[in-house]
Amino acid sequence: MADAAPSRLERRKARTRAALIHAAQAFIADGKTNVAVLELTRAADVGMGSFYNHFSSKEELFQAAVEDALDRHGGALDELTRGMGDPAEVFAYSIRLTGRLHRRHPQLSKVMLNTGVAIATSEHGLAPRARRDIQAGIQAGRFTVGDPELAFVMAAGATLCLGQLLHTQPHRDDAQATDQIAEDLLRMFGIPADEAHEICQRPLPELDRLLPHAPA
């Protein structure tokens, strides 16, 4: 039997939680995490009591906000790479899409950047997928790297630094820069130069599909 549709109360609770998470993401994106719970509830347009129905502290809310952002991005990458058989292409595809995210979804980008290197050890978002794709590339004989964790560190560092560069240099071509980073990473991992270039010139899907917009 199919699950029952959510009740009106359940829908209202879900909207309240989403509003709090979206408000927290806006504060994180602005680098303002030293705020009171009252500021968060005002930004979300919910009551103080509603906050504690969902979260025990603002730290718990901020953690949920980061995980939500990373999970939405990771879910989009899973959807857009489904059916690809070559782990080298999947890896490059994810890097190329993520690089374009910094301009097209600046709030999510700033949430990621302001979270810093902690996202490299997160179980959410790009990090576990990059580790998976690097390991798959090694097992398939596509990547010739001795230490998959060091390969991941190079990819994570390049992705984060690229995002910061694209924010500080708004006139730089984000697509060209991102594709070059992806191509260079493939070459570092053992893909021949001409093939790495060809992989990183393949068409990408409509970028509006990369990530649904967060609720207003």
Minimal CA–CA distance to 134: which of 175, 76, 188, 96? 188
User: Which residues does 121 contact at the CB level (< 8 Å), separation at least 6?
Assistant: 127
Tokens of 19: 């509003």
Minimal CA–CA distance to 153: which of 124, 121, 109? 121
Backbone angles phi, psi at 142, to 5 degrees: -85, -35
Q: What integer pLDDT is reported at residue 213 of this predicted model?
A: 47
Pairwise CA distance, residues 152 & 138, whole Å: 12
Pairwise CA distance, residues 44 & 22, whole Å: 8
Minimal CA–CA distance to 57: which of 29, 39, 43, 37? 37
Q: What integer pLDDT is reported at residue 183 of this predicted model?
A: 98
DSSP string, the chain: -PPPPPPHHHHHHHHHHHHHHHHHHHHHHTT-----HHHHHHHHT--HHHHHHH-SSHHHHHHHHHHHHHHHHHHHHHHHHTT---HHHHHHHHHHHHHHHHHHSHHHHHHHHHHGGGGGG-SSTHHHHHHHHHHHHHHTTS---S-HHHHHHHHHHHHHHHHHHHHH-TTS-HHHHHHHHHHHHHHHTT--HHHHHHHTTS----GGGSSPPPP-
pTM: 0.79
Residue spans of the domains in the chain: they are 8-209
Pairwise CA distance, residues 5 & 11, whole Å: 10
Q: Are 129 and 77 in contact (CB under 8 A)?
A: yes
Q: What integer pLDDT is reported at residue 216 of this predicted model?
A: 37
Taking only the tens of pLDDT, the chain with its 216 residues reads: 455 667 777 788 888 899 999 998 888 888 888 889 999 999 999 888 888 989 989 889 988 888 888 888 788 888 888 888 899 999 999 999 989 888 888 888 888 787 777 777 778 777 888 899 999 999 999 999 999 999 999 998 999 899 999 999 999 999 999 999 999 999 999 999 999 999 999 998 766 655 544 443
Fold classification of 8-209 is Tetracycline Repressor; domain 2 (1.10.357)
